[in-house]
Amino acid sequence: DQRDQTKFRYSQDTRRKETKFKKYTNLLQSTERDAVDGRRVVEWEADMSAYSKKTLNFEAFKLHLQHKNALNVRLAPLYNKYLSRKLRLGNYSRRQIT
């Protein structure tokens, strides 16, 4: 039967367009260029790459958690802004729809 053989293609690019991924990413990156305590957000987040969250060494993991908590406290006002929360919610809901 012809109807049983019909297949739909759903590409990654189609999903990106439906979720407005590129638009939201560009908007969030433009806000991350703002300075927090004299440094850009990207620089603050890049510092976290020095601390592995996958380590089995408990002391190293505690150090990672301490730096992560300090970073969260420092960057919380930026990520709690209305635009950031709105974009995250829109991104989540569109991913659930697709």
Q: How many domains does the chain have?
A: 1
In a domain, 18, yes or no: yes
Mean pLDDT along residues 26-42: 86
| Cβ contact 53:71 at 8 Å | no
By C-alpha distance, which of 35, 14, 18 is closest to 77? 35
Classify residue 84 by its DSSP letter. Answer: H
In a domain, 82, yes or no: yes
In a domain, 65, yes or no: yes
In a domain, 5, yes or no: no
Instruction: State the Cα–Cα distance between residues 31 and 36, nearest whole angstrom.
Output: 11
In a domain, 1, yes or no: no
**Cβ burial, residue 4 (10 Å; 0-12/13-18/19+):** exposed
Mean pLDDT along residues 71-95: 92
**pTM for the complete prediction?**
0.69
Average pLDDT, the chain: 89
Structural domain harbouring 70: 10-97
